[in-house]
Copies of this chain bind each other. A is one copy, B any other.
Amino acid sequence: MMKQVLIGILCGAAVLTAGILIGHYGIAKGNGSEPLDIVHGPFRLQTVNYPKHYRIKPFFILIHLHRELTKVPHLATTAGDEQTVQLMLKRWQDPETGLDQAWREEYMVYLSFPDPKKPNKVTVGESLEHQNKSYTSDQDDPEVVQPYAAFSPAGQPKGKLVYANQGKPSDYQKLNETVDLRGTIAITRYGGAGRAAKAINAAPYGVIGVLVYTDPSDINDGLMSDSNETYPHSWYMPPSGVERGSFSTNYGDMLTPYLAAKEETYRIPVENITGIPPIPIQPIGFEDAYKLICDVKLDIFNHEELKNSSNVMGVIRGSVEPDRYVIYGNHRDSWVHGAIDPSSGTSVMLELTRVLGMMVKQGKWRPRRSIIFGSWGAEEFGLIGSAEYTEQYFTKLSERTVAYINVDIAVFANATLRASGMPSLQNVIFKAAKQVYAPGLDSTSVYDNWIRYANRTSSTHGTIPKVGYLSGAGSDYAAFVHYLGITSMDISYTYDKSKTNARIYPAYHTAYDTFDYASKFIDPGFVSHQAIARTAGNVLIRLADSLVLPLNCSDYAETLEDYLNTAVTLYQPKLQLPIIVLSFFISRHVIWASSSAGQPTFPGLADAYASAESSGHSSAWAKVHYHLSVLSQAIEGAAHTLVDVI
């Protein structure tokens, strides 16, 4: 409907305009035939009207002129440019073939040039210098301007290289979600965004410099070799070719917008110029770009083998309840020397067994329950020794084991105790920690020291040290917790998190995890090793020797309530979480499964939710649904056990 109106208006306007034009220009001659010179003139199908010499070698002069024009580089305002000015004037003022009039118009304009004495450089290890490889003498002309981005500011930024596609706003925006762009140099390819835009778009993200190259897939139909593919063998750009250009968004002289740039013209302050790169930018050839966007080759020769791996097992038999086990474990294998991982824990275990063994051998002591010591093999390859052990003795262990104590890395650093475990063990650990001096502090207990570094407010106990959850699969407790469902703990001495952001002790799994390293930097004097040996030994004796097992169920209940609150807070708004009844008898698999989501709530649910949120796949949301079902059915089943008699 609107279109009809539109077309009507347009047609009316067209007719009106035609009328005006005819009236204004057409009346004088009055006839509509084409002037003769179009029909028979020089720019028709035939060249019959051309002068004789011209007919013989049509447009020979054009080639000659082209050769003249391209003899030297003629960058604006250079001597080469002036040569072409003179050529134009000579031709247009020629008495036989010139125009009625020809002249020069001069403007004083704001341009940007590289410094011939200080060539722009891109350095990575060594400078990249393969620009303008010579195939003809043209490239050897000293007037060939070095590759540069006109109007790029000077500067010497240095930073990590990040590939930013075409430097579009969306490229930087998306990239910044993966990579912190602050302080980086972005390498971009031509296309998609204007030259200046590649730098203008980058700057708000903290990028400090930009490179731009011409991708062979955008310009060369993918061809790259100058030995037989690119110029001088074809029209394709050679590897060292660099596309220069003006890196400005606007056109015309920048200092005199909307005014002719005559010498006396008012010029705006340079700092008011807009639309130019705020950070240095430089064009490079794809040869150099490909050195930067490193083409990396991996030669990986790993192989798999079936090998015999050993656990070493040791036992102190219980005096009263020999068929109740407290298991204490540490893995023995390491990636290299393993001074911290695991030998800190192995030496602690050997010291414990030495002291306890001596008392047993001397007849001075024997624990109420049996103590099993496990020196696990091949932990580093995936908790293999402990997992195989639990698989082999599954029934016996799950029926008879009271608790599992894991001391893998005994000492990460010497600031404070760190403990993770089932909440029911919390009180045992606290009691033990109160009976041991903190390393280097003769009047402060491990407990009093610990509470300064990590504490929380318990609804039952007030302020207490914070015991972590064993929700990962970071050491040999995993099979005991997730497979056997045994109450477990893991303790170590560790660092002051306010003093370092280290993810773990820095020599972890490297060839520097040596006795030298451990004794000089991790625990000089091995005082923290002592503290861990005493604390772990104290816990071990409490568990193996107490009349009543010191497991506190109400602490467990407090944690489960926290889990429920967290799940409701995090997931109910999105999932319409069904109202579920929790119980103490909920399957431990559901509560203590391995988790990577980092949320203190039901791990299976938390992991599935995190994965679904990240991927958005419907199959991932289906898994959330599955975990909700597992959770609610486990809980409902447990509730029936409590409520119904039959």
Known: A76-B378, A150-B380, A158-B298; 13 extra A-B contacts, CB below 8 A, are A10-B560, A10-B582, A10-B583, A10-B584, A21-B551, A45-B437, A59-B529, A66-B529, A69-B343, A84-B332, A92-B314, A99-B357, A125-B291
Verify if A295 is at the interface (C-beta below 8 Å from B): yes
User: Can you give 17 contacting A-B residue pairs, CB < 8 Å?
Assistant: A6-B583, A21-B551, A31-B547, A34-B546, A63-B519, A66-B343, A74-B334, A75-B333, A76-B377, A91-B353, A105-B312, A122-B297, A158-B297, A173-B615, A231-B521, A261-B388, A282-B300
Q: For the complex, what is the distance from the CA of A297 to the CA of B549, rounded to whole Å?
A: 65
B549 near A302 with CB under 8 A, answer no
Find chain B residues with CB under 8 A from A332 CB.
74, 81, 84-85, 88
Residues of B within 8 A of A365 (CB): 37, 41
Min CB–CB distance A149 → chain B (angstroms): 7
The answer, yes or no, to whether A14 is at the interface (CB within 8 Å) is yes
Residue in B closest to A510 when the chains form the complex, CB atoms: B241
Please list the 10 inter-chain residue pairs (A to B) with the smallest Cβ-Cβ separation, ordered nearest first.
Answer: A252-B387, A14-B553, A10-B557, A260-B392, A13-B584, A43-B537, A76-B333, A235-B521, A237-B506, A76-B378
Interface residues on A, range: 35 or more
Considering only residues 151-165 of chain A, those with a C-beta below 8 Å from chain B are: 151-165
Q: Do A389 and B112 have beta carbons less than 8 Å apart?
A: no
A421 lies within 8 A of chain B by Cβ = no
Find out whether the CB atom of A377 lies under 8 angstroms from the CB atom of B138. no
Chain B residue nearest in CB terms to A311:
B105
Contacts of A388 in B (CB 8 A): 105, 107, 109, 252-253, 256, 260-261
From A22-30, A449-457, A463-471, A625-633, give the one contacting chain B.
A22-30
A274 at the binding interface (Cβ < 8 Å)? no
Residue A305 at the chain B interface, CB threshold 8 Å: yes
B310 & A391 in contact (Cβ 8 Å cutoff): no
Name, among A114, A292, A343, A542, the residue most crowded by chain B CB atoms within 10 Å (CB to CB). A343
Which residues of chain A from 29 to 58 have any CB-CB distance to chain B below 8 Å in the complex? 29, 31-35, 37-38, 41-45, 50-51, 58
Are A221's CB and B17's CB within 8 A? no
A 512-547 to B, binary, CB cutoff 8 A, 1 in contact else 0: 101111111110001001100111011011100111
The CA-CA distance from A145 to B413 in the complex, in Å, is 25
Determine whether A244 belongs to the interface, using a CB cutoff of 8 Å to chain B.
yes
Q: Of A243, A309, A564, which is in contact with the most chain B CB atoms at under 10 Å from its CB? A: A309
CA distance in complex: A62, B155 (Å): 58
Q: Collect the chain B residues with CB atoms within 8 Å of residue A535's CB.
A: 43
Give the residues in chain B near A218, CB-CB below 8 Å. Answer: 501-503
Whether the pair B81, A377 counts as a contact (CB closer than 8 A) is yes
- Residues in B neighbouring A574, C-beta threshold 8 A: none
Residues from chain B with a CB closer than 8 A to the CB of A278 are: none
Pair A246/B99 contact, Cβ less than 8 Å: no
Residue A191 CB within 8 A of the other chain: yes
The distance from the CB of A563 to the nearest CB of chain B, in whole angstroms, is: 11
The reply to whether A336 and B173 contact each other, CB–CB distance below 8 Å, is no
Residue among A219, A243, A384, A541 having the largest count of chain B Cβ atoms under 10 Å: A384
Q: Which residues of B contact A209 (CB under 8 A)?
A: 296, 298, 300
Which of B59, B291, B514 sits near A138, CB closer than 8 Å?
A: B514
The closest CB in chain B to the CB of A616 belongs to B173
CA distance A387 to B110 in the complex (A): 13
Q: Which residues of B contact A615 (CB under 8 A)?
A: 169-170, 173
Chain B residues within an 8 Å CB radius of A119? 301
Is A338 interfacial (CB-CB < 8 Å)? yes
The residue among A297, A356, A507 with the most chain B CB atoms within 10 A of its own CB is A297
A646 close to B (CB within 8 Å): no
**Contact of A107 (CB < 8 Å), options: B11, B62, B74, B384:** B384
- Is A395 positioned at the interface, with any CB of B under 8 Å from its CB? no
- Expressed in whole angstroms, the minimum distance between the Cβ of A251 and any Cβ of chain B is 4
Any B CB within 8 A of the CB of A645? no
Shortest Cβ distance from A160 into chain B, in angstroms?
5
A77 to B65, CA, bound (A): 81
With both chains docked as a complex, state the minimum distance between the C-beta of A136 and any C-beta of chain B, in angstroms: 5
Q: Indicate whether A321 reaches chain B with its CB closer than 8 angstroms.
A: yes
